[in-house]
Amino acid sequence: MAGTNNAKPQNLRHSKTIHRPLITFVMLEDQFKSAPGGNFTMLRTVLDPLLSTAGRNGVAVPNLPSPDIDSEGVVTDAENNRVLVFESGSQNVPSDPVTGREIYARIIPTSKGGFNYLIFFYILDESGIETEYLMPMGTFDYFIPYRFSFEHLPDDAIIRVKSRRSSDDPQGGGQGGREVMQIITVASGNAPGNLLFTPIPSTDVWAQISGFEIDSVGSSPLNIAGKSLGWDASTANFDLETGDRMIVHYETYE
């Protein structure tokens, strides 16, 4: 209609006028954790360079704890501060080798020495109750929940985890692996050599040798230690000879 102007006022066109803090993740890579211990201190100096470019278009955001929806910073409220943990390199979600349960973490601020943070590791028990977990030594990547103001929200915030990780299931616990068939030519007597990959612990490895089929269950001549494949001639009642051909089948996570 003539004489009308539906344009919004200039002061409503800017993201700064929208008070809508949103949570996404910032990634802290290749962090070495020593053992033993259930937690470790993540120093402010580790997060400072990460957060100096974590906002939209690479702007800096504050390295401060955010306990509620009104404050921008590292999420520390109990409901939202779950940290995703991945093994560096393999990008697998770590799991408890006994139960196969996924391991995750929470980040808790401490006033000691300024704005430092403690990471505590957890699993869910049989009743679905969160219990602290004694995390072994390793190198891990952490997706840390961060509450961004709308003006600082990164463009890739929504797809950030899925676009950076492809193996987001825990190892073990019935998650399965892939089957490998490997042909080994025995290089020296009773010494088959090494497997290409590490078999899944407590799973069956079996081999075809000159028409015989032998597995690793119970009292077996096949001895598995990591990738090392050994042979006990006294249990088998025959020797592996140089040039013998073995077809080995096993499952691996690698």
Report the percent of the chain where pLDDT is more than 90: 24
**d(C-alpha 191, C-alpha 20), whole Å:** 65
- The strand pairing partners of 85, in sequence order, are 142
* Residue 183 CB neighbours (<10 A): 9
Please choose, from the candidates 191, 165, 97, 163, the residue with its C-alpha nearest in 3D space to the C-alpha of residue 135.
97
Report the percent of the chain where pLDDT is more than 70: 84
Q: What is the pLDDT of residues 31-64, one digit of tens each?
A: 998 887 778 888 888 899 999 999 999 999 999 9
pLDDT score of 18 more than 50 = yes
- Asked if residue 235 lies in contact with residue 185, where contact means CB atoms within 8 angstroms, the answer is no
**Residue 17 banded pLDDT, cuts 50, 70, 90:** low
pLDDT of residue 84: 92
**d(C-alpha 221, C-alpha 33), whole Å:** 38
Q: What is the pLDDT of residues 138-184, one digit of tens each?
A: 899 999 999 999 889 998 888 877 665 555 555 554 555 678 888 88
* Residue 251 CB neighbours (<10 A): 15
| CA dist 206 → 17, 180, 201, 214 (Å) | 66, 11, 14, 5
**Residue 1 banded pLDDT, cuts 50, 70, 90:** very low
